[in-house]
Amino acid sequence: MKLGFNLDLARPSRRHWLGYLLLAPAVILIALIIVYPLLVSIDLSFQNVNIARLDQPRKPFTTANYERLFSSPDFWNATWVTLKLVVIVSFFCFLLGLGTALLVNNKFKGQALARLLVALPWAVPEVVAVVIFAWMFDSSFGLINWIFIKLGLIDTTVSWFSSPTAAFIVVCITMIWKGYPFVSIMMLAGLQSIPEDFYNAARVDGANAWQRLVNITIPSLMPVLGVTLVLVMLWVFRDFSIIYILTGGGPLKATQTLSIMTYEQAFSFFKMGYASAIGVVTLVVCVIASRLMIGRAPDTI
């Protein structure tokens, strides 16, 4: 039925002034607090500035920051650390997250409680997660050292935060514990959208549990898997709080990611121009990587 009124808001002709008016406050605020700072930081990255003062005249244009960046071993070290961290943390987040989701998706008594519990670390602030793991991995009285000695894995206490490898492992464990409940939450939602009929039909055809997992569950989860993977990788890539409070990027730059390096250059050494250059490179990598990955995933969840 065709209505005589001009009421259908979805019609292409509905370029109503109200639509623009409603967007205006968001556009203005975003321009002020996101776009303008972003332009300032790009501008800073092409100047040789130490302390950012906007009321001082602009320094001359230079690409020195970027040249210095790409020839600096610290930058390549940070890139390598970031890459290792992203791969390791995302891999275990997925393994554990998917496993947990499949487990909790079974029907059993107390399922609601279990679902709530497995996602709990997601809600714990990163600072608190760091407190927990810093204390559990404490070198003198930490629980982990005691358990490992009891199990015979180590002979004497390990000072986790003074060895480069050990510190890196602690960072990984903290991030996995904090990050994988998110994967579980997303996977559980994905699992619940798979029609029960698929499984019934497969059972009738005699498919066993493994075949059902590989041929129904995993393919149906693919779209959610793709998006979740991108979100987890972006989180690890950009995370600052966990590493900064846990290790500060040390020892010997073993846990210094690009984010930590950016912050340290800016606020420990006050090389704002150089730090901005690192930050801009980080952003460009994030945007390109996520476009490539999301672009390939189907566009529905």
Partner 1 sequence: MKTRSLNRIILYASVVAVCAFLVFPIYWLFITAISPPDQLRALPPKFWPDVPRWDVFAAIIRERPLLLWLSNSALAALGSVIISMAVSVLAGYSLSRFRVRGGQSLGLFILTAKMLPATLLVIPLFGIFRSVDLIGSLWSIILAHATLIIPFTTWMLKGYFDTIPRELEQAAMVDGCSPFGAMVRVILPVSAPGLAATALYGFVLSWSDYAYARTFLTNAQTNWTANLGITTMKGEYISNWADISAASILVALPVVVIYLFLERYLVGGLTAGAEK
Residue 32 burial (CB count, 10 A)? 10
CA neighbor of 166 nearest in space, from 189, 150, 148, 183:
148
CA neighbor of 271 nearest in space, from 260, 259, 263:
263
Place of tokens 């029907």: 107
Indicate whether 240 belongs to the interface with partner 1 (CB under 8 A): yes
The CB-side HSE value for 127 (13 A sphere, CA atoms) comes to 0
Phi-psi bin for 157: left (phi > 0), alpha (psi -120 to 50), beta?
Answer: beta
- Contact positions with partner 1 (CB under 8 A) in 144-173: 146, 150
Query: Shortest gap between Cβ of 201 and partner 1 (angstroms)?
Result: 21
- Contact positions with partner 1 (CB under 8 A) in 44-63: 44, 52-55
d(CA 253, CA 264): 11
Indicate whether 181 belongs to the interface with partner 1 (CB under 8 A): yes
Indicate whether 300 belongs to the interface with partner 1 (CB under 8 A): yes
Indicate whether 230 belongs to the interface with partner 1 (CB under 8 A): yes
String of contacts with partner 1 for each residue 241-280, x by CB under 8 A: x--xx-------------xx-xx--xx----x--xx--xx
Indicate whether 29 belongs to the interface with partner 1 (CB under 8 A): yes
Query: Shortest gap between Cβ of 166 and partner 1 (angstroms)?
Result: 18
Peptide bond connecting 195 to the previous residue in cis, omega within 30 degrees of 0: no
Query: Shortest gap between Cβ of 36 and partner 1 (angstroms)?
Result: 8
Long-range interactions of 191-198: CB distance < 8 A, separation 24+ = 191/101, 191/102, 191/105, 191/217, 191/221, 192/105, 193/220, 194/220, 194/221
Interface residue with partner 1, options 100, 217, 247, 255 (CB under 8 A): 100
d(CA 272, CA 285): 20
Query: Shortest gap between Cβ of 54 and partner 1 (angstroms)?
Result: 4
110 or 152, CB closer to partner 1? 110
Indicate whether 126 belongs to the interface with partner 1 (CB under 8 A): yes
118 or 168, CB closer to partner 1? 118
Using the rule CB under 8 A, give the single segment among 70-78, 80-88, 177-185, 212-220 that binds partner 1.
177-185
Residue 247 burial (CB count, 10 A)? 24
- Contact positions with partner 1 (CB under 8 A) in 66-95: none
Indicate whether 219 belongs to the interface with partner 1 (CB under 8 A): no
Q: What is the size of the binding site for partner 1 (CB under 8 A)?
A: 108
